[in-house]
Amino acid sequence: MPGTTSTAPGAPNAGPSTGAPHPRRWIALAVIAVSQLMVVLDATIVNIALPQAQADLGITDANRQWVITAYTLAFGGLLLLGGRIADYWGRKRTFLVGMTGFALASALGGLATTGEMLFAARALQGAFGALLAPAALALLTVLFTEATERAKAFAVYGAIAGGGSAVGLLLGGVLTEYADWRWCLLVNIPVAAIAIAFALPLVPESRAHGNTRYDVPGAIVVTAGLVSLVYGFTKAAEDGWDATATLGFIAAGVVLLAAFVVIELRSSHPLLPLRIILDRNRGGAFLTSTLIGAGLFGAFLFLTFYFQVVLQYKPLEAGLASLPVTAGVLIAAGGASQLMPRLGAKPLMVAGAVLAALGMLVLTQIDVNTSFLTHLLPAQVILGLGLGFTFVPLSSLALVGVPEHDAGAASATLNATQQIGGSLGTALLNTFYTSAVAAYLVGKAPNPVNQVDALVHGYRVAFAWGAALIVLAGLATLVLVKVRKEDIPTGNTVHMG
C-alpha cells in the first residue's frame, strides 16, 4: 500500500543513549504505535472517502488529486526538516506538537465546506505529520537501546505500520458508508487525544546536542518547487500541455528545484547532504523509490473510483475489494526478508518491478463489468507481491555505505522520495486520465453509457502510465544498482504502510 519505508537506525542523529533502560519504555511504545497507526490510517482511509468528498464539495476531476498530493507534498517536502527539528527542539515536544497539529488539521478537514478548505487541511496534516513521524521513530531509537529489545520494538512498530493500511481501507469503508466521509478525518481527534494524554506522563524527553541550525530556506524552496510542478500538471489537465500557465508553473518548479540543489551545496547544515544521493547505489534506490511511488499512488486513486463509481461498490465493499494488494505486500515482504541475504537486493527489486508492472497491465484490461474474482483479485495480488519484493530491498539499499551520522538523513530521504513520487505521479496520472476522458467523449452523444465508457477508458490510460512508471523503476534498478549481496546492511528494517 502507499507508504514509506523507515529504518531503525535511521532516526536522525538519535544516537544510542546511555544508562539503564527507561522503565516505562513498553508503555511508551504503545503510545508511539498509536500515533503511527493514525498517520498510516490517514493514507488509505481518505482514499475510500474521496468519491463522496468530491461529490459533496463539488471538487472537479482535475483538482481532486489535491486531496492526496497536498498531504504527500507537505509530508515529503518537510520530512527531513521535521527530523532535525525533533532532534534539537526535543523529540517529545515535537511529537506532542505534531500530534496536536495533526488532530486540529483533521478537524479542519472534517468540517471543510469547500474543496480548497479540504486541500489546506490536508496540507496542514502533512506538515504536522512531517514533525510527528520522525519524532516517533527517534523516540523509539532512544527508548530501546538494547539490540534484542529494539528489534522487538521495531517489529511491533512495523506490524502496525504494515497492517494499518488494511485497517484504513476497512475503517474508511465503514465510516463513509454508515456515518459520513467527514468522519474519516474526524476520527483522528479522539485517537490523538488519547495518545497525547498518555504521552505527557509516560514518554521521556530527549534531544541531540550540537549545532541546532536548520536549513529552512532549503525546505521552503524544495516544497515550493514541488508544488509548482504539481500545479503545472494540474493546469495541463484544464488548459493543455502547451498552455502558458502550464509551461510557466512547470518551468518555475524546475528552476526552484535547481535552486534547492544550489542551496544544499552551499549550506553548512544542508537539509539533504548531496553526498547521500550521489552514490550510485543509493541514487538508484532513491530514483526507483520515486518512480514506484509515482506509479503506485495514482493507481490506488483510480482503483478506488473504479470500484465505487463504475462497479457501484459501496464504500465498505470498495475497502474490502482493495485488501488483496495489502495481502500481496505482506506476503512478499516476508519472503523478501528471507531471500535477500541469499539473492541480494537487485534481483528482488527487478523481479518486484516486473510483477508490479504486470499487475498494473492486467488492470488496463478492465471494462464496465469486470469480474472481481477472475480479474481484479489476481491483478491486485500480483501488484502487491511486486511492491513487497521492491520495498524491503529498497530500505536496506538506502543505507549501503552510509556513515552512521548520515543514516537518519538517508532513511528519511527514502521516505521523502516515495511521498514526493506519489505526489508527482498522482498529479500526472490524473492529468492523463482527464485528458483521455475528454478525448474519448469528442463526437459522442453525452449519454450515461458513453460517460461510463469514457471513465473506464480514462482509468485504463492511467493504469497504463502507472505501469510505464514502474517499468522505468525496474530499468533504473537494472542500470544503476551494482551493490553485492554481502554489502547490504542487516539492521532492523521497518516498512511503514
DSSP string, 338-356: HHHHHH-HHHHHHHHHHHH
pLDDT (0 to 100) of residue 20: 67
Residues 6+ apart with CB under 8 A from 215: 81, 84, 263, 264, 267, 269, 270, 271
Q: Quick check: 168 pLDDT over 90?
A: no
Average pLDDT over residues 153-181: 82
What gap in Å lies between CA 454 and CA 364, rounded to an integer? 14
3 state DSSP class of 112 = coil
Nearest-5° angle of CA 264, CA 494, CA 47? 85
Residues 6+ apart with CB under 8 A from 251: 232
Q: Quick check: 11 pLDDT over 60?
A: no
Helices (H) and strands (E) in the chain, counts: 17, 2
- Considering only 292-301, 390-399, 430-439, which range has the smallest mean pLDDT? 390-399
Tell me the per-residue pLDDT of 304-362, one tens digit each, with 9 for 90 and over. 999 999 999 999 999 999 999 989 988 988 888 888 888 888 999 999 999 999 999 99
Per the CB < 8 A criterion, the answer to whether 386 and 338 are in contact is no
Tell me the per-residue pLDDT of 222-235, one tens digit each, with 9 for 90 and over. 889 999 999 999 88
pLDDT (0 to 100) of residue 81: 86
Tell me the per-residue pLDDT of 360-410, one tens digit each, with 9 for 90 and over. 999 999 999 999 999 999 999 999 999 989 988 887 787 777 776 676 677
Tell me the three cell numbers of residue 2: 502507499
Indicate the pLDDT class of residue 13, thresholds 50, 70 and 90: very low
Average pLDDT over residues 151-168: 74
pLDDT (0 to 100) of residue 182: 96
Tell me the per-residue pLDDT of 16-43, one tens digit each, with 9 for 90 and over. 444 567 777 888 888 888 888 888 788 7
What gap in Å lies between CA 177 and CA 172, rounded to an integer? 8
Q: Quick check: 491 pLDDT over 50?
A: no
pLDDT (0 to 100) of residue 6: 42
Per the CB < 8 A criterion, the answer to whether 165 and 44 are in contact is yes
Q: Quick check: 120 pLDDT over 60?
A: yes
Average pLDDT score over the chain: 86
pLDDT (0 to 100) of residue 374: 96
If we measure between CA atoms, which residue out of 296, 286, 337 comes closest to residue 476? 286
Tell me the per-residue pLDDT of 176-207, one tens digit each, with 9 for 90 and over. 999 999 999 999 999 999 999 988 988 888 77
Residues 6+ apart with CB under 8 A from 31: 195, 198, 199, 202, 203
Cα 222 to its chain centre, rounded Å, is 17
Q: Quick check: 210 pLDDT over 80?
A: no
If we measure between CA atoms, which residue out of 102, 104, 88, 159 comes closest to residue 130? 102
Tell me the three cell numbers of residue 228: 509548482
Taking the model in full, what pTM does it have?
0.86
Q: Quick check: 492 pLDDT over 80?
A: no
Q: Quick check: 488 pLDDT over 70?
A: no
The continuous run of DSSP H or E covering 4 comes out as: strand 4-7
Residue with cell 530500505: 395
If we measure between CA atoms, which residue out of 129, 67, 88 comes closest to residue 212? 88
Average pLDDT over residues 427-438: 93
What gap in Å lies between CA 284 and CA 479, rounded to an integer? 8
Per the CB < 8 A criterion, the answer to whether 294 and 424 are in contact is yes
pLDDT (0 to 100) of residue 150: 75
What gap in Å lies between CA 54 and CA 136, rounded to an integer? 32
pLDDT (0 to 100) of residue 489: 56
Tell me the three cell numbers of residue 462: 492511467
Stated length of the chain: 497
If we measure between CA atoms, which residue out of 447, 423, 432 comes closest to residue 364? 432
Average pLDDT over residues 209-238: 85
Q: Quick check: 490 pLDDT over 80?
A: no
